[in-house]
Amino acid sequence: MAKTTNEFQNFAVRYQNNVKESISRLSPRAELELYRIINGLSEDPDRYPSRVEQVSKVGDLLYKHPDPPLEITYRIDTVHNVMSVVDVQERSIVGALVVVSYSHADEKWRNELRKFLKPLVRNERIRVWDDTAIDAGDQWREEIKKAFGSANVAILLMSSDFLASDFISQHEFPFLVSRANKKEGGVQLMWLAVRPSVFKQEPDIDKLEALNDPDHPLSGLHKFARETELTKVCGKILKAVEKASISMAH
């Protein structure tokens, strides 16, 4: 999305008449989140580039919020410094939730995985969550626990940095293992070897399903082999999601 403003501009917010009625139908939590989002966008329309897309030739922008699942259509008038809210919708949650646990040193591999999963997200087969969904000022530990607690499938991006992370080893991983061991309402926990690591020294990891050959992590593969492997990985994740969906239905 092209830049619409500079960092010092603030925009007055105007709501079209139909929007007020739509807001009145939102859940209380969604309404509170809506005003927080709009306040952030009015201060900087480019604050959430990964969540905004242009949806019309006249410049309408669509913001999609992951949780609660809000869609906000708006326009930016840079001449008069006005942000017009055109439409607000709270969508039904569709698709199983896939969460990604990773070290920030492996951000590159998180982005690669999300790129390959994007068609499944677009077609509403799955929803994907990682900590980039946490906004500044949020209670980030609570947001992580909430997302991990409602996940149907969890993917660990395995590397030496993942195993070295105290936060992951003390908080994220034990929580996910605990949920994976539940007979009902659990999570299907799998891992993807992105870089070499001593995973065999971690028995709780070694007994989990690996999405690729741990002896040939993604970082050691040439582009074609890596993309072929990620394509297979997405197929395995989709199967896990379909299994989770069947469980959800029952």
Q: Tell me how far apart the alpha carbons of residues 116 and 98 are, in angstroms, rounded to a whole number.
A: 13
Q: Which fold has domain 96-249?
A: Rossmann fold (3.40.50)
E strand residue ranges, the chain:
12-15, 52-54, 61-64, 70-77, 82-90, 96-101, 126-129, 153-158, 188-193, 209-210
The pLDDT mean for the chain works out to: 86
Q: Give the pair of three-digit tokens for residue 219.
A: 């970082």
Reported as a single tens digit per residue, the pLDDT across 109-122 is: 999 999 999 998 88
Domain boundaries, the chain: 12-90, 96-249
Q: Please list the residues that pair with 99 across neighbouring strands.
A: 129, 154
Question: Same topology for domains 12-90 and 96-249, yes or no?
Answer: no
- Work out the average pLDDT over 201-227: 93
- Strand 209-210 to strand 188-193: parallel, antiparallel, or no bridges (unpaired)? parallel
C-alpha 22: how far from its chain's center?
25
pLDDT per residue as tens digits for the range 48-104 = 888 899 988 778 999 988 777 889 999 999 899 999 999 998 876 567 889 999 999
- What is the reported pLDDT for 250? 46
Of 131 and 228, the one with more pLDDT: 228
Q: How confident is the model at residue 247 (pLDDT cuts 50, 70, 90)?
A: low
Using the Cα atoms of residue 161, residue 164, residue 166 and residue 172 in order, give the sign of their dihedral: positive
Question: 52-54 and 61-64 as β-strands: parallel, antiparallel, unpaired?
Answer: antiparallel
β-pairing, 126-129 vs 96-101, is parallel
Specify the pTM.
0.65
Query: Do residues 126 and 238 make contact, with C-beta atoms less than 8 angstroms apart?
Result: yes
- DSSP run (H or E) holding 18: helix 17-24
The CATH architecture assigned to 12-90 reads 2-Layer Sandwich (3.30)
User: Model confidence over 173-203: pLDDT tens digits?
Assistant: 999 999 988 766 678 999 999 999 999 998 8
| pLDDT, position 57 | 77
What length is written for the chain? 250
Locate tokens 């569709």: which residue? Answer: 94
